[in-house]
């Protein structure tokens, strides 16, 4: 699985992959480039792999819907050169963005390729870029943030083991209302209130993040906008459960606490817990992408993914965006 850029700023995509394995994160374009992706030149080289990832490729810069990235964003990847020579690499265009570059390797060994970005992102969400060397092919995921949300319009609040937490999305606090989907025909839709970091910068101490996913939405690429909205109809919903590698449809909540520990609902039972959708309002962003703004209310048990410890959650609320992307 490709290395994820922007560290925990894409907590949503990490949570989705943790829930359903190393499947791709799909944009509405299904992660497909425009066919322009290619590799050329006389050099021979391969991506450096390790820790279960195909490469260490990572995007650098801020990617936001409607904001041109030319000259401000790059993709870096480490390669192992076996034969020096010229190289040319391009990802093709995905979601209005292209990474491409050319150069010369003068010696063998590990070296870093830098591919400047050009273009303007059309939609937010997680978008998959194909990356090829003469000897292998990988994917790298780039997260595009939505246009700035109205202050205090998106938030979460809840009381965890008697301690209150509340976080709002504001233009001056670096939080974003993130969204994404995972899967192909059967997908999981997710929304989150997450902190937007640059590159591989760690999330600052004391930061908390919350992600809610809803499963499963069937026949995704044939679902109409009305059908997507109906998936978030007002009402009560069960929490998803897991038995070995089998997951049921339902809600999963994941939370990162101020110490960086990850807690979720799917790692244990949920007696007496509840989850309700209070409202669902469809809209389009500036790039024409379709979203549903959903207000949710919940109580649950959160389980630490490492230790199995449990914390009771009461008075939970979140307003976030689920995108048909």
Peptide bond into 196 cis (omega under 30): no
User: What pLDDT does residue 30 have?
Assistant: 35
Q: Rounded to whole angstroms, how far apart are CA atoms 13 and 103?
A: 33
Closest by CA to 283, choosing from 292, 295, 274, 271, is: 292
Q: Rounded to whole angstroms, how far apart are CA atoms 96 and 29?
A: 11
What are the average pLDDT values for consecutive 10-residue runs of the chain, which has 325 residues?
Answer: 32 45 34 54 86 74 85 89 94 93 94 93 86 85 70 85 93 88 88 81 88 94 94 97 80 96 95 96 86 97 95 97 91
User: What pLDDT does residue 82 have?
Assistant: 94
User: What pLDDT does residue 205 have?
Assistant: 86
User: What pLDDT does residue 203 have?
Assistant: 81
User: What pLDDT does residue 135 have?
Assistant: 79
User: What pLDDT does residue 246 have?
Assistant: 67
User: What pLDDT does residue 10 have?
Assistant: 42
Query: Could you state, in order of their start, the residue ranges of all structural domains in the chain?
Result: 38-144, 146-324
User: What pLDDT does residue 148 have?
Assistant: 56
Q: Rounded to whole angstroms, how far apart are CA atoms 310 and 121?
A: 41
Strand pairing of 58-60 and 175-183? unpaired
User: What pLDDT does residue 21 have?
Assistant: 35
- Copy the structure tokens of residue 157: 């609040």
Burial (CB < 10 A; 0-12, 13-18, 19+), residue 199, is: middle
Give how far Cα 305 sits from Cα of 19, 170, 198, 211, 268, Å: 12, 29, 26, 15, 10
User: What pLDDT does residue 17 have?
Assistant: 42
CATH number of 38-144: 2.60.40
């Amino acid at each position: 699985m490709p290395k994820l850029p922007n560290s925990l700023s894409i907590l949503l995509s990490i949570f989705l992959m943790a829930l359903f394995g190393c499947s791709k994160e799909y944009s509405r374009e299904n992660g497909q480039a425009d066919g322009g992706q290619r590799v050329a030149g006389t050099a021979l080289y391969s991506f450096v792999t390790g820790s279960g990832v195909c490469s260490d490729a990572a995007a650098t810069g801020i990617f936001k819907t409607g904001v041109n990235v030319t000259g401000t964003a790059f993709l870096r990847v480490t390669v192992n050169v076996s034969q020096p020579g010229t190289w040319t690499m391009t990802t093709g265009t995905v979601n209005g963005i292209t990474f491409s570059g050319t150069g010369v390797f003068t010696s063998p060994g590990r070296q870093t390729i830098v591919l400047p970005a050009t273009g303007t992102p059309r939609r937010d969400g997680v978008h998959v870029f194909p990356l090829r060397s003469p000897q292998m092919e990988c994917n790298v995921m780039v997260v595009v943030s939505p246009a700035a949300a109205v202050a205090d319009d998106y938030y979460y609040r809840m009381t965890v083991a008697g301690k209150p937490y509340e976080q709002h999305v504001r233009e001056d606090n670096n939080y974003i209302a993130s969204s994404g989907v995972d899967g192909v025909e059967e997908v999981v839709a997710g929304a989150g209130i997450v902190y937007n970091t640059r590159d591989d910068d760690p999330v600052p101490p004391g930061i908390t993040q919350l992600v809610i996913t809803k499963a499963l939405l069937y026949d995704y690429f044939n679902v109409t906008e009305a059908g997507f909205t109906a998936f978030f109809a007002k009402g009560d919903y069960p929490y998803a459960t897991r038995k070995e590698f089998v997951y049921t449809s339902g809600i999963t909540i994941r939370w990162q606490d101020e110490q960086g520990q990850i807690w979720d609902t799917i790692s244990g039972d949920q007696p007496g817990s509840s989850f309700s959708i209070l409202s669902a309002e469809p809209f389009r962003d500036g790039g024409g992408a379709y979203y549903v703004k959903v207000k949710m209310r919940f109580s649950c048990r959160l389980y630490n993914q490492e230790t199995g410890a449990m914390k009771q959650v009461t008075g939970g609320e979140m307003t976030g965006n689920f995108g048909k992307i």
